[in-house]
Each structure stands twice: as C-alpha cells, then as structure tokens.
A and B are shown apart, each in its own frame.
Chain A
Amino acid sequence: MQSKWNRREFLKTASTATLGALAAGAPVAGLLSSCSSSSDKNKKLLESDTVKQRLANSTADTVILLWMAGGMAHTDTFDPKQYTPFEKGLDSNRVLSTFKAVPTVLDGVNFSEGLESIGKVMDKGTLIRSYVAADLGHILHSRHQYHWHTCYEPPQSVAAPHMGAWIAKELGAKNPVIPAFIDIGQRLTLGEGEELKAFHTSGFLGNEFGPFMIPDPTTGLDSVKPPVGMSYKRFEKRNELYNKLISESAFGEFGSDYQKESLRRAMEQSYMLLNSPEAKAFDLSTEPKESYDIYNTGKFGLGCLLARRLTEKGARFISVTTEYVPFMGWDTHENGHTRLKDMKKEIDAPVAQLIKDLERTGHLDRTLVILASEFSRDMMLEGRPGAEVKHQVDQPTIINDIKNYGMHRHFTDGCSILMFGGGIQKGHVYGKTADERPCKTIEKPIKIDQVHQSIYHALGIPEDAHAIVEERPFYTTPDGVAKPVMELFGKKEVKADAGEEVKEA
C-alpha cells in the first residue's frame, strides 16, 4: 500500500484546524468541512474551504468561450492545407483550402488568409489542431453543439447541464452581483431554437445556475438596468416601497423559511446588480471610441468587447457566439469561400484585441479564453473517414460556379481549438492533421471530455466533480474518468492512477 499522506493534504488540514484540532488530526478537519459543505449560497460558497482550495490550485478563475457556431472548417481557418484558387472546371477532389496560407508570429505555423490579427497573438496561447468530434451518425448541428457544451450525447435521461452551469455551481459567481454564467449573442427564437434551449440550461442543477442570456450585446445594458422608461430614482423608490411593504406585511406573522428567504435574497441581489457600478460594464457606449471601433465588426465583435468588460469586473463564465442560425454564419452549405471572408473579418480583429486587452490589463493570466466550434467542414467528406454519413450537400465533381467553391460538408475528424491565458502554454501547437485528404487528426487526438477536464483543471475543479441526481452520481464528464491534457499547461501528463497530480513541470 502506497502512502497517500502528502504535504498538500497535511497543509489543507492544518489550514483549517487550530493547534488543538490538529492534535486530533484528520477527523476534526473532516468535521469542519462537512459543516461548510451545507452552504448553498454564493457568498458561503466563495468563502468555503472547498472553493478556496480549488482556486488555490487553479490557474484561471474566469472562462470566456468564443463559440464559432455552425462548424468552422479547419483547413480554411487555423489549419490551412494546399491552396487551390478558384477557376472554372476545377476538380473538387483537389481542393483542400480555398485561401492562401499566411504566416503567424510562430515559426512554421500558418493560418488561413484573413486571420492575420489572431496570428499575431498566437505567442500568447496554444493552438490545438487535433480536436475530434463525436460520431453521432447523421450530422445535426444542435446535437453536436449539445455534446460540446454539456459533454453528454443527446438525448439523456436527465437534463444535462451546460459547462457554464457546472462552473457556476462548483465555483459560484466571482463577483456576487455578476451572474456566474453569461451567454452573449444567441437568440433562442430562430431555427432549431428548441434544440438550442436543450443545452442552454443548467439542467438538473437547478435554475439558479442557468445562463443569463444577453441575445444582443448592444442592448446588454437593458438586462441590468431598471426597466425601459424607469429612472434610477424611481427604481430606487420602488424598491424602498417593496421593502417597507414586506416589513409591514401581515405575512411577518408566519416567520421565515427558506422560500421566503430565498425570494428576499434574490430580490436584494437583483437590486444590487441593477444598482451596482458593475452594471456599467454592460454599457458598451462608455467604451472609448477607438477601442469600440476595433471590436465593432458586428454582434460577435461587440460580444467580445462585452465579455472583456465583464471579465474586468469579475465574471466567472461567459460564452460569446457568432450565433447559430441554420445555414448562416459558419454553417456554409454553399458559397463557403465567399462567406468565410466575412466570417473571418467578423472574428479576426475582436478576438485578437480581446487577448491583447486582457493581457494589457493583467487579466489574461487568470482568464482562460477558448475559441471552438462543434466540428469542422470539408469539401468532400461528410462525417469522418470510415464512418461517412449521408451527404447533406451535393458537391459537383467539377466546379464551375463559385458558389460551389468552399467547405460545405460536415467533417468531424479534425478541428481546431484556440486557447489563451489562464495557465495555458504560450506559443504552443498541440496535435496535427494530415496534409492530404482526408485532413484528419493524425497526432494527439483530443476529445470533448478532455477539453472539458482541461478547462475544469484550469479552474481547480476536480475531475470527479459531480452531482447526485435521482440517487446516482452524474459527473461533469461521463463517469468522471477523463483527464485534463496537461501538456496544454506545459506540464507532464498525469499518470493514470497516481494519487497526486504533477504540480510543476
């Protein structure tokens, strides 16, 4: 039997126990932590030993997810291959990339034309070129997005929580007045809206951890200020009336209970947020014009700006999306080449600026920024080699019309992810795809549960974090077995059953 008692364990015990308690050793420490584990509210959560301990072990305390909704072709963005320019009579089978490759700040690493700004900040982050999406049969964007965000394949017998909800539950809000899980840019009223709702949820964790939706970043302020047409003075007066009526209410006779208390607490919290200086962070009009203009490439760019401002004020998890609307955005079923020019324009400057701004203000060290998509695209392959599924786009063998020039089929076997800050290696490339079709992952494949565990690892959330639902454990990633990819953090891989993780490389 290996000795599992180590210094960290001891210090953890010692930090909570007094000298007297120390004489009694572990049992007393266990006793203390069981007292604090009943704390359910954010403040208590933040002050709890568990969260403190997690944050002490963490390399990040904020996560920004930049979501490229609709399937971003790796060979036309962050993993360019042989470029074949458009000409009439072009053979589809020859086309791997529809853009030129351009150099990045990293030696020997090229991006697709149009992503030059992001290329210049790659010395601050890691490029993953080997993400392999799940094989879910016939391709449906919303199912893959559900899988990416919850780490569970739909459908599930219980409502699986979004990654943001897990983070909200495990760590609470960083700043109590800013909702722990913020989702910017996605409307749920358009095509496949119901399917999107299925994962924009805290699921069985309870509404408390659900997303605070800001469908349009330019009107984000509306979500956190008094209702339209109400002055702050009137808002103040209204709240005062409410509190007075409560204290005068005949209901006082019934005393307090958790429902009444939770109602009052929630009302106070919302009043705090709506009245707080932090609320100004939601107001993009106060951003200096030069900066605003750089970000202003559309809703996504302004979403990045809003995410940056909220990060500065203490957000926990923010998702910014290019917005999934069937056949729009990255979901290119035709005109792929032409449309990607616009998509790149929309993301290039704001993403680069976000990284630079976060670094300049010192927030990048503790903020993990991830750019990802549900899967990639290819001109010929639908699904993955060996598991090809029914084509959803008719791709002519000979291209005569530019509308057929682009990555129009859904490809799951090689996708790119960018990660910056929050302990992530700088100037690093992880994994590789083949240079010939199929341009699939050939080195260091990484799957969704590893991506999730890496993000949780950065946040100090243990691999086996779970909730008990209907008497069974439900883990953040299926069965709680996946491990973080330590190389992303510049560390050695964790051995399968080592009791202690490798702390410093």
Chain B
Amino acid sequence: MNLKSINSYKFFALFVVLVAITFCPLFLAEGLADPVVAAASGTENNTFWFFKLLGRLHPLAVHFPVTLLCLAALLEVVTLKDFNSRLRPGIDLLVILGAAGAVLSAILGWMLAGQEDYGGDTLAIHRWTGVATAVLGIISAYFLYIIEKKDRWNLIKYYRAIILFTAVGVTAAGHYGASLTHGDVYLTSVIPWSQDYEGEPKGKSSFSLVSLKGNKLSHEQEIELNTQVRAIFAHNCYKCHSSDKIKGELRLDERDLVFKGGKHGPIIEPGKPHQSEIIRRINLPRSHKEAMPGKGKPLSKEDIQLITYWVEKGAPWPDKGQKSIFRVAELKPRNPALPEATQSLQNPVDLWVNEYFKKTQVTWPAVVSDRIYLRRIYLDIIGMVPTPEELNAFAQDTRPDKRNIWVRQLLNRNDDYALHWLTFWNDALRNDYSGTGYITNGRSNISDWLYKSLQSNKPYNQFVKELLNPSKGSEGFINGIKWRGAVNASQRTEMQAAQNVSQVLLGLNLKCTSCHDSFISDWKLKDAYAFANIFADSTLEINRCDVPTGKMAETKILWEELGTIDEAAPVKEKLRQLAENLTKPANGRLYRTIVNRIWAQFLGRGIVAPVDAMDNEPWSQDLLDWLASDFVARNYDLKELIYLITTSKTYQLPSVKIQDEQKINAQDFRFTGMLRKRMSAEQFADAVSRAIQPVYADSAVQYKHFPELKPEEANAPFVRASLVKNDGFLTALGRPNRETVITGRDSQANLLQALELTNGKAFNAVLKRGAESWVSRYKDSDTIVRQVYRKALGRTPLPKELQVAKQVLGETPDTAAVQDFLWAVVLLPEFQLIY
C-alpha cells in the first residue's frame, strides 16, 4: 500500500467524522428535545435580568460567525491553489474571530433558550447544529495553528475540508434559528411551485383598521370587523377547532362556542385583550408549546392586531347580516348594460369578451376556416361529423352570414339535436337504460320525457319545473335510486334529491352538508335537511354523520329570498311550490348555472369552473350575468343560447391547447378561446358510424324515439350511441355508470381505452364489416383513401399521406389492408379531437 492510498483512506475517515459531527445533532434531537422543553418551562421567570439581556444578544451575535466563517470558507476556495497567498493572514483572522463568535453565540443561545419559551424539534436541531459549528470552528482554528506554527503542511486539505463543513454547519444552524423566529415556511411560502406557497395577497381588502379607529363602531363596522376575524379563524384555526376536529374542546366556527371557550375556560374577555387567552396564545413565540396556531404558519402582525382590536372593542359578533368568509355568488339576476357594438363585433358575447380581452391584453386572433368551423358546430350541436356533401355545400355557400344560417339549420334538426344532448342530460340527471336499482324497481327511467323535452326544445324553466314537480315520466330524477336494505342517512332518497337538485340545477355541492356542517362553505346540516324535507312524505329527523340527533328538519328552500314552502302541505304541493319558487327569474343562480354549463360544453371550460361550484369566481362576471339575463329574456330558450354562442366570433377563435389538464379548472385561468376537446364516447361511436360503418345494430336501440317509423324513414342512417345500453366499448371511452350525477367526463386517453380500440372484439368487428363494405363499393385504393379522408376528416389527403396509405393498401386492396387503414384513420388525434 503506498502513501497516497493511506492518505486518501485517512481523508475519507476524516470526512465521515466531520459529517457525523455536523449532523449528529439532527439525530440526537429527538432524544434530547424533552429535557430541553422541561428546562425551558422550569426557568421561565426566575432569570437574573443581566443573563436575560445576554441571552437576547444571541440574535445579534450570531450574524458574526455566520458571515466570518462563510467568508473564510469562500476565500479558502478562492485561494485553493496557493495556501500561502496574500489573503492568508486575513483568512486566519476570519477563522479565529468566527470560531470565537460561534462559541460566544452558542453560549448566549443556550441562555436564551433556557429563559424564553422556545421548545420543540426545531429548537433542538438548531441548538445542536450551533454547538457542532462552534466545535468545528475551534477545530479549524486549531488546525490552522498547527499547520502554520508547527509546519504540518500535509494537514492543509483536512483543514480545508473542516472549514467547508463549518460553513455548511453555520448556515444550517442559521437556517433553523430563522425558522424558529420566522416560521418554517418563511422561505417556501413565496416560491410559486412550493407546497407552502401562499400566493399573492388576495384582492386587496378594502378593510382597514385605521378606518375603524373611532370611538364607537357602527353596526356595519362591527359586521365588517367580525367578518375579518372569522376569516382569520377559518383559514388558520378551523383545521383543529371546528366541528370536525375539536382540539382542546375549543371550536371557533360558531359564535356561542367561541365565547364558551375550551378545556381551560373562556378564551376571550371582551374589551380586555390582555386578559384574553387567545391573544396571549397568538402572541407567543413560534416555538412555545402553547403558541397558536399550533400547526401551519403563524398569524401575520396584521391578523394579530385585528383580533386584538376586535377583542378590545368588545369582540362584537352581530347576529344579523353576517357576511360569509367563503366566496358566495350573488343570487339575484343582474343585467349589465351591453358595451356598444363596433364594426367588427356585433354579437353580445363578443362585446363582453372584448372587454375581457382589453383587460387581459389579448388581441383578437383570426377566426377558424370554414372546414374547422363546420366540423365544430356539427359535433357540438348535433354530435355528428359533417358529410363530405355538407362540407362542399358549405364551402360553396357564398352568403356572408352563412355561418349563422347553418347554425340555425343544425338547431332545426330536432331529432339529431335531441339525440346528441340526450347524452349530456342523461349524465347530469343520472338517467340510463340499465344500471343499479332497476333490478328491484328502485329506480325509474325518464328517457321518453327527456327525449321529447329536448326534441321540442322545452323552455328551460318548464323543463326544471317538470323535473322538480314531476309527472310519471320525469319522476326518476328526484326519486333517485332506492337500494334494498339499510342505507346511510345521507343517502336516503330525499337527501339524494336535495343533493342532485342542488348540484345539477343550482351548481351547489350539498354532499358534505348532508352529513355535517360544511367546512368548505357556510351551509349547515340543518339547511340540507330543510331542503331535503321538501321531497319527504313525513318530516325527516336530522342525522349527523349517520347518527340521529333527535331534532326534526324544517322545510325550506336553501335561499329564503326565493320564497317559502308550506311545511304542512302534502309532498305534491310542496314540490309544486318548490318548482314555482326555484324557477322564478329572481333565482339568478338557476339560470347562471345552466348558461355556464352550456358555455362549458361549447368552449371546453365554464365561465365559472368547476361547473358544479357556482360560488367560484367567473372570469367575466358581466358575461355570465348578461347571458343568464338574456336567457330569461328570451323565454329560457336553450337553442337561442346555443345560437348566440356558436355564432359569436369568440366561439370561432382557434382552439387553445392545454398542456396540463389540472390547469383547466384553476381559478387563475385566462380565457383565450375554445379549449380543444376530446370526442365523447357517443360522439366517437357516431362519427365512426357516419364516416366508416354503423357501430350498432338496430336491435341495440333501447329507447325508440320513432315508434311509428322505420329507421330509414326517420332519416336516421344509423343507430346513435345515445340510444344504446352502456357496454365495454363505451365504458372504456368514458361513458360513466350513471348512479351518481356526472357533469363532466375524463378527457385524457388511457391504456384501457387504447386496448379496447386496438383489439376490442366489438370494435374490430365493426371495422371488419366496414372494410368489406368499402372494398365492395370502391375498387382502387386511391379512391378509398380519398373517400375515407373526406368522410372521416373532412379534407383531402396530403400527397404524402396518400403515398403512405397506398403503400400499405397496394393498387387493389384486400379487406384486411382496408380494415387496417380504417383503424389507423379513426385513431388519429385529428379524428378524435374537436379542434
């Protein structure tokens, strides 16, 4: 073994030792934390003032060793080549002073920790890293001494390793020290991609303490102040102190409980902040074991001031007119005045989007080509791709307003329209031809009512009335699904009705609230029960998390402004009252919800998102409000709404691609045009049926909408997928089980889907039949390729595409080759996406 290898062995050993010294505090911390805390609390108030003063010099003193040692390490790196550079005496001084400073800081720190109320694991880590750093600093200085005074030059690299470790150690100690005083998310809370990110301060509150500094608060000011305080409670304290987790027997989510206090008695002495436990706790240093909030980030100075001020003013908590701490959308309709039309913009939708674009600094791109536009409106309005003949006719149409005319024509194809929208409403109203519940007559089908309502374009207010106060044909929606056996109280059919009506028709999630008071909104358990009670034959008993409370439910609409329900009336009468009250024009929420849903169907994302959370902020309140008001003004006509949207320039903008699906529903979404959509299972099946080969046989039809006519007479060239039972093929492509309300489908492809399309028996058989038919109709491959491209993609193939396809097909293709070609085309993203 030569000398060199011995050296590197030693070097490695030293490295290990240094790592151990620097980081062993982290390992020790766990075991040592408890005595530290014990010591801390034991010596709380008995320290001589001078030692206290010394202790409090620790935060001042620590800056010296941090700077000195880091600088020494840096200079050591800079002078790596020449140990005896001109900087040597300076570095030596830095190391010596730094080491001394580290020792001093450690001593002062120890005193500080001993007398103030710090505790917890961060303190333990900080303490022992600090001590380790001081030790390392001394070792560094000692090495320097023996190197320079005893000429042990071979130790230089060990010394340098040690000084580097010292620098790392001092940085770590400093970091944990800062975590103690600033909170451990101090740094990460400003990094946008960090989990702790707090974001920009939300829309500047108009509230200011200064404005309140008067003698006596007005009622409005009290409400405002109280709202602010409750917002602080909700965001910082509810996690541990509300109905779902009650630490220390304290709840901060209800007035009486706040004043009742916790395990140790009241937390608020109105008018006396200095005697209030809550004020003491939120002012404690971060690491004190009684500091609040115990988890998460500390309250800001402003928050503490606000709560203190609130207590000082007698902790007002007015009963009436409490403002919500969650965003709550306006219930009333609003009809903002339309901006003036311009030369290029006439459609009201465009006028509002123009305002939005001005604000977000978007310039209007050119609208899409005729081909893309026609494909869009066909798929979006009637759910089918246009035929080549239709594409040609459209291209040759020279009327300046031909897009409007064609939209109108499509909307007039009542059956095609109904067959497409049937899918959307079946999902939303959880209606299907088969599914759970039918086996025991626990569920009824509303297909006939639904089809006829869509086919006749029933005004939406009437549509809703018939769902809420149903005839035999439409009762399936509010009747829900009745399972045999015992069912959780929050899933009784009356509660299902309350949940489904509020979700689908009102864009409100009552699911949490049907089990316990919500913690994502202000809705209470009793509200959900009062609403459910409208659907009940006999008064419901309120169950909390499936446990009876002994309290009986009231009978109320969620918003009292919408009118009352006669508690004593029979259920039929209650439903009539509900239907009348909910569909009043005054219920802006009902109409905002539907126009937003329709908008989302066409543009790929709602003005409010998710579409079931109508309390969220719209990207344009004016557009949403105006559309809803206009919808009411036009007699609740869904087709008119669709006409308005699809003839807007806004809808005709190029589609927008999204890289990350998560961003679609994000609240900072910015609208720039229709999001690219994926065909639904039904649209895909219908597109294949139309362009290539019918997917379903006549016998698969579950609901016969043309009882007297044969399919060909009814102008139905193939069986629409919305009329068949769910099967493996449609399931794989995203058709849901309709046991629960579904208001949006998966838009990502996945392996199971791809497998179904690649080797699924049924689909393969369709393509095989298709190939046989194509081969018998067209002889040469050139024609086949051109025809398939026209029918499926609405365009002629590019020369290169033609060439690739013909290579596979040969001149006179066989069935197998054609089948493979058909498969490849219908699996192209270009076929499957609406762009």
Binding site for B on A (CB under 8 A): 1-7, 10, 19-20, 22-27, 30-31, 33-35, 37-38, 135-140, 142-143, 153-159, 179, 192, 194-195, 197-198, 201, 206-208, 210, 212-213, 222-228, 230, 234, 237-238, 241-242, 244-246, 248-251, 254-260, 262-267, 269-271, 273-274, 470-472
Does B804 sit within 8 A of A, measured CB to CB?
yes
Cα distance, A228 to B662, chains bound together (Å): 38
Contact of B830 among A6, A156, A251 (CB under 8 A): A251
Q: Beta-carbon contacts of B744-769 to A below 8 Å, as 1s and 0s?
A: 00111111111101111100100000
Cα distance, A158 to B824, chains bound together (Å): 36
Q: A3-B120, A136-B485, A269-B751 are in contact. Are A263 and B832 (CB under 8 A)?
A: yes
Residue of A nearest to B662 (CB): A38
Cα distance, A1 to B121, chains bound together (Å): 9
| A27 and B184 contacting across the interface, CB-CB below 8 Å | yes
Q: A135-B486, A228-B764, A234-B816 are in contact. Are A208 and B434 (CB under 8 A)?
A: no
| B805 and A35 contacting across the interface, CB-CB below 8 Å | no
Residues of A within 8 A of B17 (CB): none
Contact of A31 among B194, B483, B514, B613 (CB under 8 A): B194
Cα distance, A282 to B171, chains bound together (Å): 57
Query: How far does the Cβ of B589 sit from chain A's closest Cβ, in whole Å?
Result: 18
Query: How far does the Cβ of B815 sit from chain A's closest Cβ, in whole Å?
Result: 11
Does B795 sit within 8 A of A, measured CB to CB?
yes
13 A-B pairs with C-beta separation under 8 A: A3-B29, A37-B195, A143-B485, A153-B488, A155-B487, A158-B511, A198-B739, A226-B759, A227-B764, A258-B660, A260-B676, A267-B749, A271-B758
| A140 and B483 contacting across the interface, CB-CB below 8 Å | yes
Stretch in B83-91, B212-220, B356-364, B729-737 touching the partner: B729-737
| A241 and B185 contacting across the interface, CB-CB below 8 Å | no
| A3 and B121 contacting across the interface, CB-CB below 8 Å | yes
Contact of B436 among A25, A198, A274, A470 (CB under 8 A): A198
Residue of A nearest to B290 (CB): A1
| B764 and A19 contacting across the interface, CB-CB below 8 Å | no
Residue of A nearest to B188 (CB): A27
Cα distance, A24 to B125, chains bound together (Å): 13
Cα distance, A350 to B514, chains bound together (Å): 47
Cα distance, A265 to B748, chains bound together (Å): 10
The 5 closest A-B pairs by CB, nearest first: A137-B486, A257-B657, A3-B33, A251-B830, A5-B121
Residues of B within 8 A of A153 (CB): 487-488
Contact of A3 among B34, B172, B731, B835 (CB under 8 A): B34
Does B490 sit within 8 A of A, measured CB to CB?
yes
Contact of B801 among A140, A198, A226, A245 (CB under 8 A): A245
Cα distance, A227 to B484, chains bound together (Å): 41
| A34 and B193 contacting across the interface, CB-CB below 8 Å | yes
| B172 and A23 contacting across the interface, CB-CB below 8 Å | yes
| A155 and B481 contacting across the interface, CB-CB below 8 Å | yes
Contact of B171 among A23, A140, A157 (CB under 8 A): A23
Residues of A within 8 A of B34 (CB): 2-3
| A238 and B823 contacting across the interface, CB-CB below 8 Å | yes
Max chain A Cβ within 10 angstroms of own Cβ: one of B193, B658, B748 = B748
Cα distance, A138 to B824, chains bound together (Å): 51
The count of residues in chain B whose C-beta lies closer than 8 Å to any C-beta of chain A is 107
| A223 and B759 contacting across the interface, CB-CB below 8 Å | yes
Contact of B175 among A25, A159, A227, A251 (CB under 8 A): A25
| A242 and B824 contacting across the interface, CB-CB below 8 Å | yes
Query: How far does the Cβ of A47 sit from chain B's closest Cβ, in whole Å?
Result: 18
Residues of A within 8 A of B676 (CB): 254, 257, 259-260
Instruction: Kindly count the residue-residue contacts between A and B in the assembled complex, taking CB atoms under 8 Å apart.
Output: 283
* 20 more A-B residue pairs beyond the given contacts A142-B436, A159-B736, with a C-beta to C-beta distance below 8 A: A5-B26, A5-B29, A7-B30, A23-B171, A30-B188, A37-B195, A137-B487, A154-B483, A158-B511, A194-B436, A206-B750, A212-B755, A258-B660, A258-B748, A259-B676, A260-B657, A264-B829, A266-B750, A266-B753, A267-B757
Does B414 sit within 8 A of A, measured CB to CB?
no
Query: How far does the Cβ of A172 sit from chain B's closest Cβ, in whole Å?
Result: 11
| A25 and B172 contacting across the interface, CB-CB below 8 Å | yes
Binding site for A on B (CB under 8 A): 26-27, 29-30, 33-34, 37, 119-122, 124-125, 168, 171-172, 175-176, 179, 184-185, 187-188, 191, 193-196, 289, 434-436, 438-439, 481, 483-488, 490-491, 496, 499, 509, 511-512, 514, 520, 610, 612-613, 655, 657-662, 676-678, 728, 731-732, 734, 736-737, 739-740, 746-755, 757-761, 764, 795, 798, 800-801, 804-805, 808, 816, 820-821, 823-825, 827-830, 832-833, 835
Cα distance, A37 to B731, chains bound together (Å): 28
| B739 and A155 contacting across the interface, CB-CB below 8 Å | yes
| A472 and B511 contacting across the interface, CB-CB below 8 Å | yes
Query: How far does the Cβ of B823 sit from chain A's closest Cβ, in whole Å?
Result: 6
Residues of A within 8 A of B484 (CB): 137-138, 140, 143
Cα distance, A265 to B749, chains bound together (Å): 8
| B289 and A228 contacting across the interface, CB-CB below 8 Å | no
Residues of A within 8 A of B835 (CB): 251, 254
Cα distance, A450 to B164, chains bound together (Å): 51
Query: How far does the Cβ of B511 sit from chain A's closest Cβ, in whole Å?
Result: 4
| A250 and B27 contacting across the interface, CB-CB below 8 Å | no
Query: How far does the Cβ of B111 sit from chain A's closest Cβ, in whole Å?
Result: 21
Cα distance, A241 to B810, chains bound together (Å): 13
Residues of A within 8 A of B830 (CB): 249-251
Residues of B within 8 A of A4 (CB): 121
| B613 and A471 contacting across the interface, CB-CB below 8 Å | yes
| A260 and B833 contacting across the interface, CB-CB below 8 Å | yes
Query: How far does the Cβ of A71 sit from chain B's closest Cβ, in whole Å?
Result: 15
Cα distance, A226 to B816, chains bound together (Å): 13
Q: A206-B746, A208-B750 are in contact. Are A228 and B509 (CB under 8 A)?
A: no
Residue of B nearest to A136 (CB): B485
Residues of B within 8 A of A251 (CB): 828-830, 835
Q: A140-B484, A194-B435, A245-B828 are in contact. Are A1 and B37 (CB under 8 A)?
A: yes
| A228 and B761 contacting across the interface, CB-CB below 8 Å | yes
Query: How far does the Cβ of A427 sit from chain B's closest Cβ, in whole Å?
Result: 36
